[in-house]
Structure 1
């Protein structure tokens, strides 16, 4: 049986009333982020302030110069305790300010079901393309970085992974029209584009082998990545955070044309699952708990010029906002 598409989610139309400055000067943790009760209107305003945060950044700013919140294993808002890495589904992640996605595609029966390891997440590439395209249509000033990674085993295919991706881009009646409008197609050698070139577009971070380039190569000459995900026990969380913190310092001092990518995520079966590593447990602070005050302080004090792309498990609005807040310097270049 072929995989069935999950139905299109209801389009969320937000009235963005916050100014650009308000969007970038993200306030301290909202009541929702702290786990306190929150009025529905306040939650809507918080989403509106982050849905268009790229709007006031200059077109000439390289994506490498930005501070970009992202989600590790973006599609894993369902699944077992060892597979689940997110609480928000994709459309909510995007409205909350996330602009970097980690899309794990298994090549199965000439299609791309979304997996975390061996576990199918009841989501397919068509759903990811549709939800991302809907968001970009409603928010054309934004761009979305999308890591595409081969996941698990390839089985029962009549074509290569590259040929199946080309089918989605060129022929599939559901995705081809959307990607024709919203997929950035690089020309010339590998490079990190400027924001003005890719507004309203998906920029692929290519984590698979192919005969041609589809975007920016993951692990290529234009990227510098920290992704040491091994956290054997909760006692190893401080060591994981130290690796992430060191990479933030490396990003601050690094080549301006390089896209730095820093993973806060980690796991260590059977003693530390992704949620415990991210959010902690009794007597333990999670990696997000270390990152949140560090990034909030460095955004307020201007001590970290950019964070690069920050990939996280279970990010809350405060953590997302702390990353976005580092774009003040870039925004000032527009005035």
Structure 2
């Protein structure tokens, strides 16, 4: 990224946030394979590091970047929740952040995830992937009907799936870890036809979600994050899948990198004092220390 973000100062602590590269020795390619009681452990009971706007890192407008690491590098560092925003274009679903095309497609992202899950070290991992339909902004492309969008989505999954047809979890219930191993668990953030009886993933709206990103101060923003994480711990016996965002928009002049520089240390320090289920935490520019600390909030065999 160079020195484009002059407002970010010199506080480049890569324990908290990532700038341009994956830190040597920080990989966690197989951490899920070591969790206790996978046959009884619901995915809702795991503390899972994730990225918000996973692919927002390639547009010319760097103020719209939310990550610095490539998708394969994110997976190697231990990220297991991915956030993909799709828009229809010429019989394909491309990845966007707002109006900015991210030089990637849903098919391409899923293929990279498949490669990760089929490697020896990572075959017992699973990935939770939010697929959001994000084509409400008028850009001259025709907007597909729900039925057409679902058909295209199924077509892309079929093109990516393996010969055993075993890569995707498309049921609407939350599986246990042993059932989800080696799979991409789809969190469906788009509508499907009411009469369509074939599931297309866990409905995103059934998650317990915190995403109050627009606040007046970083401390105010973090209070929402903190309270939701505490709720996830207090309601540890419930089957709900919690998703907490740590991203923020404090002012139009502060890019996501600046918000991550401020908020990620707060998040790290808070998690360092906690124990128990946190659910999914979706972050901008998460550093290896922060990712590791979330992973360590689980019980290992």
Per the shorter chain, which TM-score range?
0.7 to 0.9
Give yes or no for the alignment of 1:217 onto 2:197. no
Candidates 277, 283, 289, aligned match of 1:306:
277
Q: Which residue of 1 aligns with 2:8?
A: none
- What is the distance in 2 between the residues matched to 1:67 and 1:193? 15
- What is the distance in 2 between the residues matched to 1:200 and 1:308? 20
Gaps of at least 5 residues in structure 1 are 1-30, 280-285, 299-303
- What is the distance in 2 between the residues matched to 1:179 and 1:316? 36
Give yes or no for the alignment of 1:53 onto 2:34. no
Q: Which residue of 1 aligns with 2:125?
A: 142
The answer as to whether partners of 2:47 and 2:295 remain within 8 angstroms in 1 is yes
Scaled by the length of structure 2, what TM-score is found?
0.84
Q: Give the Å deviation of 1:43.
A: 4.8
Q: Which residue of 2 aligns with 1:322?
A: 293
Q: Give the Å deviation of 1:269.
A: 4.7
The answer as to whether partners of 1:118 and 1:152 remain within 8 angstroms in 2 is no
Gaps of at least 5 residues in structure 2 are 1-12
Q: Give the Å deviation of 1:179.
A: 9.1
Give yes or no for the alignment of 1:168 onto 2:149. no
Give yes or no for the alignment of 1:87 onto 2:65. no
Describe the shift of the 1:288–1:157 C-alpha distance in structure 2 as closer, same or farther (beyond 3 A). same
The answer as to whether partners of 1:231 and 1:272 remain within 8 angstroms in 2 is no
- Render the CA deviation track for 1:306-330: whole Å, top value 9, x for unaligned: 11000000000011011101002xx
The answer as to whether partners of 1:69 and 1:310 remain within 8 angstroms in 2 is yes
Equivalences for 1:118-137 in 2 at 5 Å? 118-137=99-118
Candidates 172, 180, 193, aligned match of 2:175:
193
Q: Which residue of 1 aligns with 2:210?
A: 226
Scaled by the length of structure 1, what TM-score is found?
0.76
Q: Give the Å deviation of 1:44.
A: 4.5
Return the structure number with greater relative CO, CA threshold 8 A, min gap 6. 2
Q: Give the Å deviation of 1:145.
A: 0.2
Q: Which runs of 4+ in 1 moved over 6 A?
A: none
- What is the distance in 1 between the residues matched to 2:233 and 2:16? 29
Aligned length: 272
Q: Give the Å deviation of 1:268.
A: 4.1
Q: Which residue of 1 aligns with 2:190?
A: 208
Q: RMSD of the TM alignment (CA)?
A: 2.4
